Structure formats: structure tokens, C-alpha cells
Amino acid sequence: MKPIYRAIILILASVNAIAADAQTTKQTSNKNNMVKHHEISQFGYSEYVEIDLGTAKMLVFSGQLALDNDGNTVGAGNFEQQAEYIFSSIQKKLEKAGGSLKNIIKLNNYFTDISNLPAFRTIRNKYIDTTQPPAQTSVEVKQLFRADVMLEVEFMAVINY
């Protein structure tokens, strides 16, 4: 097994253990600042959660959508435009958190039409390191939270301190 895959497995196992601890010992983990919630939405979720891994931090982001600051869909009816907007947003969010697109270790992609997967890959590959790509899951869903939203991308990143 390649070292990068071993590292990812260890990180994901650590996250599961930390998440389990956070559920049962919420006060302790918050007191020790192992888990920090960032940009809490009025709708009841965090934009991302930061998990202190000791020598690095793991960032777990909520799903990213092609919505502008006013909540309007960018590229309604245009999958490629939505995907470009999402990856551009991901890049900005990671840079703001002190990282880059190379820090992404996992992508979860939700399509309203999985036939857009080839177009998605073309756009994604402009943003990620294709020699060391992140783990990825892509699924088709009946509909996302609004009918004009064609794609949602969740992601996780690990950034060394």
C-alpha cells in the first residue's frame, strides 16, 4: 500500500475516533480546542469544522454550491459554469484557511444528472493535482435543495501547521 493511502486511512480513522469522542465528550473536546466550528450559518450548520490533528489540521467543509452572495444560482441550467464556480469557491475557501487545492484529500460530489461526470472531471482536473488526486465519491440524486442547482461538492482537506 502506498504511503499516501496509509496516511489517508490513518487520518480518516483518527477523524472517526475524534468525532466519536466529540459526540460523547463535547465539553472536553471544545475545552481542549480539538474541534472548532467556523462560519456558523443562520440555517444551523457550520461552513466548515476544523479538527486539530496535532501536526496538522483537518478541515471538513459543508457542501459547496454555485450560489452568489445574494443566494442566486450562478449558471442556472449550465453545469460547466456551476462546476467552475464551485471549484473557484473551494480554492478561495482553502486559501482563506491557510491551505491550497493540493490539501484536498476527499471530494463527495452530488449530481442531479450523472451524465455530467465527464464534464465535471475536466473542470476538476484544472484545479486538483491529478498526479495525487483526492479520494472521491460521485452520486446522482433526484434533486438538490433547489431545482436549478445541478451540483454540490463536499470536501475535506488536511493542512500541515
Delineate the domains of the chain, giving CATH numbers in brackets: 32-160 (3.30.1330.40)
β-strand partners of 56: 160
**42 falls in which pLDDT band (50, 70, 90)?**
confident
Rounded to whole angstroms, the Cα distance separating 58 from 74 reads 29
pLDDT digits (tens, 9 = 90+) for 102-131: 999 999 999 999 999 999 999 999 999 999
Q: What's residue 36's pLDDT?
A: 92
Range of lowest pLDDT (13-17, 21-25, 91-95) = 21-25
Q: What's residue 87's pLDDT?
A: 98
Instruction: Inform me whether the pLDDT recorded for 61 exceeds 60.
Output: yes
The mean pLDDT value for 28-57 works out to 83
**31 falls in which pLDDT band (50, 70, 90)?**
low
3-state secondary structure of 68: coil
| Size of the chain, expressed as the number of residues it contains | 161
3-state secondary structure of 71: coil
Q: Which residues contact 59 (CB under 8 A, 6 or more apart)?
A: 48, 49, 50, 51, 94, 97, 99, 103, 156, 157, 158, 159
| Residues above pLDDT 70, as percent of the chain | 80
Q: What's residue 21's pLDDT?
A: 45
Which of 2-11, 19-28, 40-49 reaches the highest mean pLDDT? 40-49
The mean pLDDT value for 79-100 works out to 97
Q: Which residues contact 100 (CB under 8 A, 6 or more apart)?
A: 91, 94
**43 falls in which pLDDT band (50, 70, 90)?**
confident
